[in-house]
Amino acid sequence: MNTATIKVHDATGTPRSSFPLDRWYVAAFSSDIRDKPVGRTLLNQKVVLFRTGNGQIAALEDRCCHRSLPLSCGTVEAEGVRCGYHGMLYAPSGQCLEIPGQERVPSKACVRPYHVAEKNQIVWIWMPSVAGAAPSEEPPVYSPHDDPRYRFGSGMYHYNSPWQLIHDNLLDLSHLGYVHLKTIGGDAHLHMNAAMKVTQDGDSVKVVRLMPGSTPPPTYRAAWPFGDKCDRWQEIVFRVSHLEIWTGAIEPGTDSIENPDRGGFHMRGFHGITPETETTCHYFWSMASNRHPERDDNFETVVEQTEFTFDEDRGVIEAQYRNMLQFGDRATWLDIHVDAGANRARRIVERLTTQSLA
């Protein structure tokens, strides 16, 4: 299952991707893109993101066509982004608008543009298999960011590991009892023994694990007045560009954890995993949670502990990947019961990658 794909560029300069194309990926959170250009490599393509005068998000290839300085080293103006070396100004269309000191701007003075869209405070970028092709569908909806019941905090990690190792991690929360004892862990054996229900719907995989009678872990206790036990649920929905993970718990006897409108304490996680290269990726996360009506707002605690939890995951996943590299071909994997969801996700990504190359 190891990925060791070589990056190949075709004749048009588009990387022959090792990733599913013709789909939206997360490029940023809205709050990341303010008054400065932001450079980021997404699916092997260097992109600069910026906002023009009217607040519109734009994305271009991150390279001035004159002498190759990243446009992300430049400055943002009302009409576009200006290179920080000799001042060439580019519109969101990629066309150069001005070459200081030169009257004529040749039409080939341009860089490749990308389609971008902002929705639910997430910046999505369309990664086409044919350079310049327009999106064939709307960007994904993620409503918890705009749901009045929740507040959310967000962050971003750069990972020195292939993106799918994060899918594996998130699709199998049985690791909570070994990796995250200080925050959301709970009882390791209860987690491992809880029945795991895996279903698939098209290119989406859903993993549900219900754990009634569980001991509330530290983060849950900090945010909600649980007694000795709580009924916990974990609902994970995988899509190629991102996972939605809705975990939470109710006081036993107050509601059914199988009811989609259940009350109790909610942690709704967004996990946008965007490949940077075959061996590195960006991880855009947010955590939304609700407040108990008679409790102080412990939202900061929830976000802090979420970040601590994700730091632990990064430690594990990057150590895993370094070890895979060191063992090379000998790092074969033995599947166990918890891998059902992750293996389905891997088959989906593999199928869609092959389609992109066809």
Interaction residues for a second copy, span 36-65 (CB under 8 A): 41, 46, 62-63, 65
Q: Which helix (H) or strand (E) holds 285?
A: strand 280-289
Interaction residues for a second copy, span 139-168 (CB under 8 A): 168
Does 130 sit near a second copy (CB under 8 A)? no
Residue 86 or residue 115: which is nearer to a second copy going by CB?
86
| Smallest separation (angstroms) from a second copy to the CB of 71 | 9
Residue 88 or residue 303: which is nearer to a second copy going by CB?
88
DSSP strand pairing (81-82 vs 89-90): antiparallel
**128-134-136-141 Cα dihedral, nearest 10 degrees:** 90
Angle value at C-alpha 335, between 332 and 338, nearest 5 degrees: 140
- Which of 4, 36, 53, 67 touches a second copy (CB under 8 A)? 67
Report yes or no: 283 and 25 within 8 Å, Cβ to Cβ.
no
Report yes or no: 37 and 52 within 8 Å, Cβ to Cβ.
no
**Short-list 354, 2, 358, 30, CA closest to 168:** 2
| Smallest separation (angstroms) from a second copy to the CB of 78 | 17
- Which of 10, 34, 93, 102 touches a second copy (CB under 8 A)? 102
Does 175 sit near a second copy (CB under 8 A)? yes
Hey, is 50 helix, strand or coil?
strand
- Tell me the C-alpha distance between 344 and 350, whole Å: 10
Residue 141 or residue 319: which is nearer to a second copy going by CB?
319
**Stretch of 213-221, 235-243, 294-302, 311-319 contacting a second copy, by CB under 8 A:** 311-319
Q: Which helix (H) or strand (E) holds 38?
A: strand 38-42
Does 137 sit near a second copy (CB under 8 A)? no
- Tell me the C-alpha distance between 43 and 14, whole Å: 11
Query: By the criterion CB under 8 A, which residues form the site for a second copy?
Result: 9, 13, 41, 46, 62-63, 65-70, 73, 82-88, 99-102, 106, 108-109, 168, 172, 174-175, 177-179, 188-189, 191-194, 315-316, 319-320, 323-324, 326-338
